[in-house]
Chain A
Amino acid sequence: TQLLEQSPQFLSIQEGENLTVYCNSSSVFSSLQWYRQEPGEGPVLLVTVVTGGEVKKLKRLTFQFGDARKDSSLHITAAQPGDTGLYLCAGVYGGATNKLIFGTGTLLAVQP
């Protein structure tokens, strides 16, 4: 059972455009992570959010955790070709099992 749904599934945009990726669930997570994965590499952790309503910024990336800790969004401003990759949200479910639930993934392509 997939607990984290991401949208959109695929996104192809031009350099300089803005975009938002959504990560939704019916379950509450004790923490939620965003990862980016480039082809042929492992996922790389971008951010962790833990508090409902929390907003974190990482250069041109803005991450938000929903008030109820069930959903999150990633907004990229002025996308660049280097932002291309598979974006994955992931949450620790239950808090005690070391089991990370991954979202369905969003494949982003930024054209120069």
Chain B
Amino acid sequence: DTEVTQTPKHLVMGMTNKKSLKCEQHMGHRAMYWYKQKAKKPPELMFVYSYEKLSINESVPSRFSPECPNSSLLNLHLHALQPEDSALYLCASSQVGGRDSGEQFFGPGTRLTVL
């Protein structure tokens, strides 16, 4: 199984809502990532989990809260978002460390719209 799944595919939320994005992989990868991507731009790294522990937080606002319940699952909890947070949110997984960490498998993304 070389697939990373993400749910939901589309999400529309108001600025006062609380929602969660979910990501799952069964490739045995111990590194998982959240990226934010605006149209026609490269993905921007948000968070990296390595062995279920948060290893990188790219100064992301606290209205985004990541969680890694186990080695296969990654969540992104959203609260009090702003319209400028509307984007495609991508989850990815890879082996840990070195050259292998560059070979990332991406999910199809969640298209988030904040009203």
Task: Identify the A interface with B (CB < 8 A).
Answer: 30-33, 40-45, 48, 50, 86, 88, 90-92, 95-100, 102-105, 107
Contact = CB atoms under 8 A, between A and B. Distances in A.
Nearest to A90: B102
Interface string B42-71: 110100101000011000000000000000
Interface residues of B, number: 29
B97 A33 contact: no
B104 A45 contact: yes
Given A41-B109, A42-B106, A42-B108, A105 B42 contact: yes
B40 A96 contact: no
Given A98-B50, A98-B55, A92 B99 contact: yes
Contacts, number: 78
Nearest to B95: A98
Nearest to B105: A45
A96 B97 contact: yes
Contacts of B105: 45
Contacts of B45: 99-100
Given A98-B31, A98-B97, A105-B42, A33 B56 contact: no
Most buried by A among B55, B105, B106, B111: B106
A99 B98 contact: no
A98 B56 contact: yes
B32 to A, nearest CB: 10
A43 B101 CA distance: 15
Nearest to A44: B106
Interface string B6-39: 0000000000000000000000000101000000
Given A48-B99, A92-B102, A100-B104, A42 B4 contact: yes
